[in-house]
Amino acid sequence: MRTFEYKVRVYFSDTDAGGIAYHARYLDWAEHGRTEMLREIYPGKSQSQLVSEDHLMIVVKSINIEYRTPAFLDDEITVLTELADIQHVSCTIRQSIMRGDTLLSILMVRVAFIDSETKRPRKIPEDIAAAFE
């Protein structure tokens, strides 16, 4: 499986008074990593186009996050995103948030594919499933 990289800097607004990244920011960074992965594997289609043209929404079903060590103000971090498992209407995405070679956190994110009109589960399109490979 391919691994996708998304780099970001830890800004003042990401931190508490001590310069340590607030725990919820890891969820935002992971979301950005998944969005950029989707842009790379599905070029020419934004998430809004998937909804409006293909009636496809990708929604978070569950997240398990393990914090290992904190990120600090001005750190450059990398979000590594890769497919861990794919099912009929959902998949699990493994995301590692790194500072250089240091693992800051691991997220296991289960996303479901649903029809934007009916709000019911929908089979993962073949081209998206193939792009994960």
User: Cβ–Cβ contacts within 10 Å for residue 95, how many?
Assistant: 25
**How far is it, in rounded angstroms, from Cα 8 to Cα 20?**
15
- 124, with CB counted inside 10 A (0-12, 13-18, 19+), is buried
Q: Name the token pair of 45.
A: 């289609």
- Whether residue 72 contacts residue 9, with contact meaning beta carbons closer than 8 Å, is answered with no
Q: Can 16 be counted among the known catalytic residues?
A: yes
- CA 6 to the chain's CA centroid: 10
Out of 14, 16, 101, 115, pick the active-site residue.
16
- Whether residue 42 contacts residue 128, with contact meaning beta carbons closer than 8 Å, is answered with yes
- Known catalytic residues are 16
